[in-house]
Structure 1
Amino acid sequence: GCIDPEYASVNTEIQTGPLYRAEGSRLSISCNVSGFKSEETPKIFDFRVTKPSRPNELNIISSGDKDFSYSIYLDRVRDGDISVKYVDPNSAIFEIESLLKDDGGEYDCTVRDTEHGYHGTYNAKIVVYVIDNSLSVSSSDPTSLSYDEGDALTLTCQASSNTIQHTHLSVAWYLRKDGEDAARPIISLDRFFTLIPGPGFEQRYVEGAVRLDKLGEATYILKMAQLELSDQGQIFCGAEEWIQDPDRTAQDSDPLSVKISSTGLMQDVPPTITQRDRLRLVCNVGGFKGQLSVTWKRKLTAKQIALFNIIVSLSQGGVMETAADFTSRNVRVMRPTDDSFVLELDDVIPSDSGVYRCTVTEWEPSGKSHSREQSANVTVIPIGKTPNILFILQALSSEPSISQIINSDVHINCRVTSKPSQSSQYAVTWLHQHDAANKTILSSDRKAVETLGSQTEQSFRQRVIMKRTNGPTFELTIRQARISDRGSYFCEVVEWLQDPRGDWYPLPGKSVITKLTVIEPGKIDNHLTVGNNLLFSFYVSYFSANDLTGNEVELECIMTSGAPAFFYKVIWFYAPPSFLSMNASLVELDQTGLLVYPENQALQSLQGRLRLSRPSQKNFYLKIQTAHETDSGTYWCQVEQYQLDNEGQWKQKASESSGPVTLAVNVAGMLHVLTAVSVGPLFSFFAFLARKNQDFKTKALQL
């Protein structure tokens, strides 16, 4: 029934404590009341504190009495440092903007009885501890730095805390551009150790050009591989300390001024070049003192997520090295003058279109190096076509991210979603980016001839395959995924068309990325449970035969585990009647599917009549053909859980055994009784062998 409002009990609640707050941080305490007759009338909340050094309560602030505060709090109330605000008529929040060390104590929220019923609880208390703000953030780098566009930037930040409470730190690097008040994050490491790129820096983070590395307990290093003019401004490091309940205190380092000058390394190049012409790019550099080396790289488009691929390089000693993909091409790099490097590529084709990057490195006698680089866009126009009718592969799609359990198979699909022409053929290349390295896994030319990447490890080659389906769709399959397989996978597709003369020419390619996360063994459920629960069961069933000697006994071991990517080994054990300690293994089926009968002279007859099978993932059957009286005894199964490690070696993760089952084979004249009784607490099994040519009946009773 309903409660009469006149007899309702007032109840006052405050948030759960104790609370730990750092000196100088904000304190918020919520207080709620229920049970008053009028829910719409604002209640009067009084807040007091009792300090460890003073037994008497001190009035701090009231929501309905301006003269409530004691003199020691009056100035802070007037200045707004201490306040109380209504959330609704029955809830209020007490706040101190900047805690003092002396603010620690037991806080009391009391609701005044304006209805004069005084029935219930009108106050609630919470303990607040004010701890020292030991968070410190500093940087040893110079306060003013100057760089050229394309230079690499490395800044170091020290962030630490000496509090005795259980805390976590989050650290971020910020950029405040010249003329702007607000700073924006470049990259941050949150309290859960997750790296998060700031707005506008996501692409450079994926390419590995922006990084945040943690060294030791307190050092956080910002690395920007190729500075851009937009990076100019004040860069500083900020840290937040998160306390258990949780709360946070914040601290920033002093800002560092960073100035970036344009390098202008690359000479102007024509935006387009015709197929079969020669591409010539010139890279100029000045102000150097040491020896110079140059590397020319290329990627499909400026928006492509994958890293640049090397075309050719020239060492400081004048040795030229050509990448494998260009060994059959007429490509060369020259140094006509001390301050210029020239890349020439003959007989260009449409697939040579893309972004070209020149990286010049200066080598000092001490071994240190400094690099500067610049990029240029190049478009190759197919013969007989003009820029306004240039065909490109319009649409390519794949799943942006996949999470897979270790040792399971990974399937990554790359789909061409644009409509192909009648003559369209496709070449596809799969690349794997892990730890900033970009390796070709395999490639398939327009005739579907596949080539494995030369840098791919042999163990990985044996586990990877690709197939094409209609659409077209290109599926990359990685068998038995390992931790080292995680990272970003790039599918690069080039469409080939046939001109009226029958010649084939490629169009500029497209690429998509799929991020693969392989869940580690410690993060999946590898618990294998047997015995006194219903995850692991043990059954016995019986079958009739045409004559007495053809009777069979079948034992079934059912296993259930929450980890589908594991492999299992089953061992069946036998012990003679009344001698459980004299057990021996009858037969084993290991995790690779190998069937083994351990040598045992006393069990040879029984082993010769055993048949072991595994019709499903969780079912293991042991069949005894032509049961003998000497087969009587105790049987049980043991299941072991295995997993491949990063080196491809089997590691046992868990092992459990079923409860024993006692099997009695009795022969008495024309009536033969076959009985099996489980000694475990889950099931008892009774089976009766009737006369010849009659079916056997099996009955299982759950206790």
Structure 2
Amino acid sequence: FRYLWIYLFVCLCMFFQCAVCRDVTLPIGPLYRVAGFPVSLPCVVTGYEGPRTQEFEWFLYRDDAGGRQMGVISTRDPGFPYAPFQSRVRNSEVRVERDSGDRVRLVIHRLRIEDQGKYECYTPSTDSTYQGNYSGSVIVKVIPDTLQISYSRSLTGQPLPEGAELTLTCSASIQSEQLTHLSVMFGKHGETSDGDTEIISIDKMLGVVPARLYQKRYEDGEITLEKRNVEGGQDLYVMKMRGVQADDRGSYFCEASQWIRDPDRSWQKIAQRKLDIGNLTVNQLSDIIKVMPVPQGILTLQIGAPLLLTCEVQGLPTQINYGLLVQWLVIVELARMTPAGVVSWGDELSQGRGSLEKVSDGRYTLKLFSVQPADSGSYRCAVSFYAPDTSLSPSTAPIYSQHSEGVTVNLRTKDVRVTAVAQLPRGPLLKRGSTITLICNVTIITTGPVQAQVQWVRSPIPEPITKKDQSPASDVSSPDEPIEVTPEPVATLRHDGVAEVFSNSSEVSVDRITMSSYRLRVHVAQTEDQGLYACYANAWGQDPHGAWYNTGVKAESNTVTVYLYARAEDLLLIPLVVGVSSALFVGIVIISAVTCCFMRHLAKQRARK
């Protein structure tokens, strides 16, 4: 066992000694790189003693030099490079870039065929004892440059209107004996020092990857990129940008990159070429579009006359089939036509009273068959521009929107005066279960046919809430300020004789008993039917075509208080209920007392026995 312990101790010492040995690490080879493009070889040293900043020397064993060592560059000796590398080192074409004190990279800016061979990274010793490895090597294979890139159509500089479709093409190919992959990216040169902007690319695994700034447009289908196989060995890459925006102006380029997978399974870009396609100029729609109403200014019409307004879109580019959303606004939306030609109206009352039609490209006509006083106001046309073949949704933003100037429509109306008086006919006191009858007398003074539309409303009877005066010596009570309560509708008799009842509790009816008198009856009235009643009268006139319209002239009557008294049988019910309740209480008390005395007497008799 003694020798076993000694053996284990020696192995343990050797293990710890190796754990702190110097070690120089380079990538696993062979590495295939393309002639004419940069190469970067990292070298890391660990387990060393001495200063944190280590020195590095690079050697090359060329394949065509029979394995002869050739100095490339050193971090401590400017005269270290051999003749083939001296000028390249002076021009910084070959250099060492230090990432940290013990981590550097040999960078050859433009790789040559004769640079093929085994590269050795050597670190001079700073250790107290010579242990570990002081150099590492990697084999670099230089393959010819076969990356080709071209375009079949460039931007001519002809301006595109905002919303047009932009198509860019780029052809790229590689012919290599090694297994390499190709990626193609379309981008735009930066207008400032911020650099180029990537738009969209097909990566080395043939996946389409939009840039972050263009992610939303790609998801909406506004930007696409596809690869097409064509004859001649070069693949064609086509990028389409539907609905160009003002920010899309600038200089565009296509970039092709060649990729290879190193022995350590990492992907490395070994070649890259960029090709300028041309400059794009975008004409903004705000500079070329003008939305005009026809006619303009002020338009005065007779009631019942037709209204015809045309929305003209001037300066519309003919080479682009924009999707136009056209709206006519009178404070709120009156009518709209979608790019698909679907017409909708702002409310049900407007539907059927007019039409909205596209008479030609850029011309949309609104027609109201018979105008009424409510149709007066300022009419404006609003046009929103969408890219061709855009599917509209609530979240779809237009390329551009513009409103026209307003057209003021005035109507010649006749003088109308309306008065209304509400009354409660004399009769017996109203009790619960009675029929409430109210009369509204309406007077309309005007010319031509006229009808009244009468609505009955009810408000609760205000309670007499009082508050004491601020002075303690005063006993005078003053009422609180009244609280405004919105009356609730009870029933309406329209101008065409149709009755509308809004009450849900009691049976209500309305009718017209004379030319100017309108009656409201609440049958089998309940407590909730009492309150302050009033009637609203609205005058309706008739246009030359026989259609009725609301003149907008109305009157509000005085209020009538309706209070319901209790019935006689209700008053007799109270003492009856009180008497029965008292009798039941007294009977229960007597029975309880008798029962208690009997139980006590029975208990005494049992005790004697």
- If the TM-score is normalised by the length of the shorter chain, which range does it land in? 0.3 to 0.5
Greater share of residues in strand? 1
Higher RCO (C-alpha under 8 Å, 6+ residues apart): 2
Greater share of residues in helix? 2
